[in-house]
Amino acid sequence: MRDYIYALEAEFILELRQSWKYKTGFFTDLIVQFLIYSALLFAGRYTWMTRQYGGALNESKSLMLLGYVFWSYAILAISQMGNDIRIEANRGTLEQKSLSVVPLSWLFISKAFSGVIVSTVFVSLIIGMSTLFFNVSIKITTGAFCAWAVMLMGMYGFGFIIAGITLVVKKVGQLTFLIQIALLFLTGTFMPLKSFPYVFQLIGKSLPLTLGMEIAKMSIGGTKIIDSERWMMLVFISIIYLVVGLTIFHILECAARQKGLLGKY
């Protein structure tokens, strides 16, 4: 048990040191992301959201900000571990990491925790800038926060599948990018899900991101009582994603050890 805590600490220190090293990258990223966000904010017509969740037009922009925030965390969850594995395999440090006394997946979970904290600084800055420049902000409710935490757990499950594939294939190329874009549309972040074919709607609706965002939007939009079925659905699906993701990761990790691919790039 103690080993797990030390490893978590180690990854946390490493993440902070690296974030600090790449701080200029952090700021350029911040500017780029804020520009993308601004474009989305003005290009889209968000009245459908107001209709769906209630509230005035300015509030619909606030819901849009919320969607953006959820989406940012979700793509982080999906792509971060795969990217890290690719980078570490390329550097040659992945095998040394695998020589840890805790499972490799735990090191990546630890890194994910640290990554979420660094991203929260990032997202807070975006929200701050949005408030400052456009007077569009979000009030964080307990419901929205819980929905965020649960959906993030589920999306990390998704991330573990991609991480596992990366362990074996290494160059997954544009796969994660495609998934990120697909998520943008499939989750009702910027367009109502109803305008898509049924199959896509179904996929979209069974994503933790979609379910979590729904609840968060309702919570922030002022819906007093959110039915417990919705919550159960979110928790249930997120747990399934995480368990399936971890299982697939371990199977693929084992395959990589079988083929002697851990350190190969």
Ligand X SMILES: Nc1ncnc2c1ncn2[C@@H]1O[C@H](COP(=O)(O)OP(=O)(O)O)[C@@H](O)[C@H]1O
Residues that bind other proteins (CB under 8 A): 2-3, 6-7, 9-11, 13-14, 17-18, 21, 91-93, 95-103, 107, 254, 257-260, 262-263
CB 204 within 8 A of CB 197: no
Q: Compare residues 45 and 171 and give the one whose CB is closer to other proteins.
A: 171
Q: How far is CA 230 from the centre of its chain?
A: 20
Considering the complex, state which of residue 55 and residue 103 has its C-beta at the smaller distance from other proteins.
Answer: 103
Q: Shortest distance, CB of residue 121 to other proteins, whole angstroms?
A: 21
Cβ nearer to ligand X, comparing 197 with 260: 260
- Residue 2 Cβ, how far from other proteins at the closest point, in Å? 8
- From the list 10, 170, 155, the residue with the least C-alpha distance to 73 is 155
H or E segment and range at residue 80: helix 57-91
Binding mask of the shown chain, residues 201 to 240, with x at each position contacting ligand X by CB under 6 A = ----------------------------------------
- Beta carbon nearer to other proteins, 21 or 45: 21
Which stretch of DSSP H or E encloses residue 140? none
Beta carbon of residue 172, minimum distance to other proteins (angstroms, whole number): 19
Annotate each residue in 233-262 with x if it binds ligand X (CB under 6 A) or - if it does not, as one string: --------------------------xx--
Helices then strands, counting H and E runs in the chain, come out as 11, 0
**Alpha carbon distance 66, 47 (integer Å):** 15
Q: Which does 47 bind (CB under 5 to 8 A by kind): ligand X, other proteins, none?
A: none
Q: Smaller CB distance to ligand X: residue 51 or 259?
A: 259
Give the pair of three-digit tokens for residue 3: 């080993």
CB of 260 to other proteins, least distance (A): 5
Q: How far is the CB of 20 from other proteins (least distance, A)?
A: 11
How far is residue 111's CA from residue 34's CA, in Å, rounded to a whole number?
Answer: 25
- Of the candidates 210, 207, 215, 216, which has an alpha carbon nearest to the alpha carbon of residue 189? 210
Q: Which helix (H) or strand (E) holds 223?
A: none
Residue indicated by tokens 């979609």: 210
* Furthest-apart CA atoms within the chain: distance in Å: 58
Closer to other proteins at the Cβ: 83 or 141? 83
Contact between residue 86 and residue 175 where contact means Cβ atoms under 8 Å apart:
no
Minimum distance from residue 94 beta carbon to ligand X (Å): 14
Q: Which positions touch ligand X (CB under 6 A)?
A: 259-260
